[in-house]
Amino acid sequence: MAVPALHLEKVSKDFGRIIALRNIDLKVEPGEFLSILGRNGAGKTTLLNIISGVSRPSSGSVQLFGTDPGDRENKAKLAVISHEMFLYGNLTALENLEYYGRMYSVNDLEQRIKTVLHEVELTHRRFDLVAAFSRGMTQRLTIARAILHQPSLLLLDEPFTGLDQQAIGMLIDLLKSQKELGRTILLTTHDLHTAKVLSERYIILEKHQIMQDGLMTETNPDEIRKKYFSPLEKAEMS
C-alpha cells in the first residue's frame, strides 16, 4: 500500500492549562480532500499548524509522506493558505512570485508565474505594489504564491474569509482543479455547503477530539449543523 500523505497517531497539544487537541488519530491518503469542521476554539488551526510543522505536538507522532513534517523535502511538498500573508508589501505581485519561485527552485518559473496569475485573475495588477492591494486581492496573491511550486499537500485555514463572491468561485474552481491533479487537500471552514461541494470526507473536532469522521455524500449538511453547531449549553460555557 502507498504511504499515506498524512498520518497522525495519538496527537495531543496543550498550551499550558489549555487543552487544544487530545489523542488525535488521523490518516489521509494521497489525493483525498478532507474538510475539518468544528466551532471556534475546537483546535482546527492548531491541527493544521502541527501538520505543517509550525507547531510541535505535546505528544504523539506526525508523519507527512512517511517522514517528519520538518523535513526539507516536506517543506517543498507543502502549501499553507491562512490569514498570514507571507508577502512583501514593498514588492510588486510579480516580484513576490519571482522571489518565492526562486526560493523553491521552481522550474520554468516565468511560465508558472503567468499561469498562477491567470488562475487567480491578477495578471492586470502584476506590476503593482502589494501594499496597495485590497484584502481580497492580497488573499488571491497568497493563493497564487502557495500553489506556485505545485505542492502535493495543501493546508487551507478558512481561505474563503475576506473574499468576494467572484473570488470564492475562483478559489472553488482552483481547488477542484488541484484535486483533479491528485493533490491532497485539507480545508478548515465554517461553511458546510462549500465543504460539501469540494470534499468527499470530513471530520468534526469537538472537545479537542475527532467526534465524527465521515463521508459528505452520506451526510446532510443541515444535520451536521443541527447536531454539532448548536449553541453550547450555558453550563459548558462557564
Q: Please state, in angstroms and rounded to a whole number, the distance separating the CA atoms of residues 125 and 113.
A: 13
The verdict on 15 binding ligand ATP (CB under 6 A) reads: yes
Q: Which residue, 55 or 219, has its beta carbon nearer to ligand ATP?
A: 55
Class of residue 74 by CB neighbours under 10 A (exposed 0-12, middle 13-18, buried 19+): buried
Q: Which residue, 38 or 69, has its beta carbon nearer to ligand ATP?
A: 38
Q: Which residue, 83 or 176, has its beta carbon nearer to ligand ATP?
A: 83
The verdict on 40 binding ligand ATP (CB under 6 A) reads: yes
The verdict on 42 binding ligand ATP (CB under 6 A) reads: yes
The residue count for binding Mg ion (CB under 5 A) is: 2
Which segment (4-12, 15-23, 95-103, 132-140) binds ligand ATP by CB under 6 A? 15-23
Which segment (35-43, 100-108, 137-145, 216-224) binds ligand ATP by CB under 6 A? 35-43
Which stretches of the chain are DSSP H helices?
A: 44-52, 72-77, 93-103, 109-119, 135-147, 165-180, 192-198, 221-228, 234-237
Q: Which residue, 22 or 179, has its beta carbon nearer to ligand ATP?
A: 22
Which segment (39-47, 56-64, 83-91, 163-171) binds ligand ATP by CB under 6 A? 39-47
Interaction partner, residue 41 (Mg ion, ligand ATP, none; CB < 5-8 Å by kind): ligand ATP
Location of C-alpha cell 502584476: 126
CB of 85 vs ligand ATP, minimal distance in Å: 17
CA distances from 212 to 73, 142, 225 (A): 32, 31, 13
Interface mask (CB under 5 A) for Mg ion, residues 186-205, using x and -?
Answer: --------------------
Interface mask (CB under 5 A) for Mg ion, residues 31-60, using x and -?
Answer: -------------xx---------------
CB of 155 vs ligand ATP, minimal distance in Å: 12
What Rg, from alpha-carbon coordinates, does the chain have? 18
Which segment (22-30, 34-42, 68-76, 98-106) binds ligand ATP by CB under 6 A? 34-42
Task: Return the closest-CA partner of residue 201 out of 13, 6, 52, 9.
Answer: 6
CB of 71 vs ligand ATP, minimal distance in Å: 24
Answer whether 209's CB lies under 8 Å from 26's CB.
no
Task: Return the closest-CA partner of residue 50 out of 38, 65, 68.
Answer: 68
Q: Is 91 left (phi over 0), alpha (psi -120 to 50) or beta?
A: beta
Tell me the three cell numbers of residue 124.
492586470
Answer whether 7's CB lies under 8 Å from 33's CB.
no
The residues of the shown chain that bind Mg ion, judged by CB under 5 A, are 44-45
